Amino acid sequence: MSPTGQRLTPLEMLAKLVSFDTESSKSNLPLIEFVESYLKSWNVPYVRVPNETGDKAAIFATVGPQDRGGVVLSGHTDVVPVKGQAWSSDPFQLRVENGRAYGRGAVDMKAFDALALALIPEFQAAGLKTPINIMLSYDEETTCLGVVDTIRRFGHDLPMPKAAIIGEPTNLEVVDAHKSVVTFVTTVNGFEAHSSKPYLGASAVMTAADMISELNRISDEMMERGDPSGRFDPPYTTVHVGTVAGGTARNILAKSCTFHWEFRGLPSLDPQEIPDRLDLFSREVALKRLNRFGEFGSIKTELLVAVPGLAPAPGSDAETLAMRLVGRNQTQTVPFGTEAGHFQAAGIPTVVCGPGSINQAHQPDEYITLEEFEAGAAFMHRLAAACASL
């Protein structure tokens, strides 16, 4: 059966994808349904992988042979919010002006998604020996967990990929490493009493301050430990407390206090080191101080998000292929997290490489230049040629 799909230029496809409001707090199903219709029109087999509640879904499509692993082009469909940002035009209507394409998600990262989808007819015409898989996910901007259910199926009812290219905007530099992003909320429960008689209660705020001070000490140690590879900016694991909330009045021992904190770890960092150290301090120092006048309080730390880092894998199939496609002879790092670590943890050689600059992401009037977009299209054409010969 010959494909009968409607041809959309990459820019037309980008305009279509941008038109869907896929902020992470909202469903991406209208976009997924459009993509499914488009894939069907070109006779491209795909699998929809819904989330637990069924209001979002990932999609995994295969162009070329179905009986072997291929190269995964992975992009997320969700975008960050536009509320409170001063846009010059409707953020969900692509505006092309002065050599730029403006819209929410234009560079992060619907441009990559649009290129992969729009060039399906060219992929089909190339006579692929190695399949090209297109994987679209959700919730990258919040948890990076939208790829996990699909990845779990690799090697079972889906072929194990040979390589994965995560198309975040890197100016088409090949990125082989980034830090982890791990976030927590710590809740301290105390007991209210008059501040003139602290022995009648326990201050959650004072104990939270002790724990934040400990995180500061850990942060200083991480800075001193540094980055042995010399590749990251900043050149160390960072530890940060973002919000603190607690207490009701100056003269009342605080009943509760919560603080949100994170670390962004070098790939070599044991992901349990920092939470384990804070837990030890909590049990041996902070909790004893909190309850020195009686069994008044408790401390609980909960993991919110864990985005694994991407570790260098010199000479991997993904690195070799991507460097060949972009004509580079060295790899780079990026300061932001991606879904790449989940692929790598499943044993899939993985790099991050996509058109456009992260400097334009998450801002009002987000854009990708047409020159960058065309460079991304050229990358896809070279990938098709490579997969026709691999």
Q: Which of 225, 176, 210 is nearest to 331 (CA)?
A: 176
Contact predicate 170/352, CB 8 Å: yes
Cα–Cα dist 178/267, whole Å: 7
Cα–Cα dist 84/242, whole Å: 20
78 is catalytic: yes
> 370-389 and 10-18 are packed helices; what angle lies between their axes, rounded to 10 degrees?
110
- The burial of 90, by beta-carbon neighbours within 10 Å (0-12 exposed, 13-18 middle, 19 or more buried), is given as middle
Contact predicate 246/188, CB 8 Å: yes
DSSP string, 108-177: TTHHHHHHHHHTHHHHHHTT-SS-EEEEEES-TTTTS-TTHHHHHHBTTTBPPPSEEEE---STT--EEE
Q: Which of 188, 36, 220 is nearest to 117 (CA)?
A: 36
- Which of 78, 192, 227, 317 does the annotation list as catalytic? 78
Cα–Cα dist 133/135, whole Å: 6
- Which of 140, 176, 227, 372 does the annotation list as catalytic? 140
**C-alpha 235: how far from its chain's center?**
21
**C-alpha 117: how far from its chain's center?**
21
Q: Position 67: which residue type?
A: D
Give the 3-state secondary structure of residue 26.
Answer: coil
Cα–Cα dist 186/242, whole Å: 12
Q: Position 145: which residue type?
A: L
Q: What are phi and psi of 45, to 5 degrees?
A: -70, 145
Q: Is the dihedral of CA 156, 130, 119, 371 positive or negative?
A: positive
- Return the structure tokens found at 8: 């959309």
52 is catalytic: no
Q: What residues act catalytically?
A: 78, 140
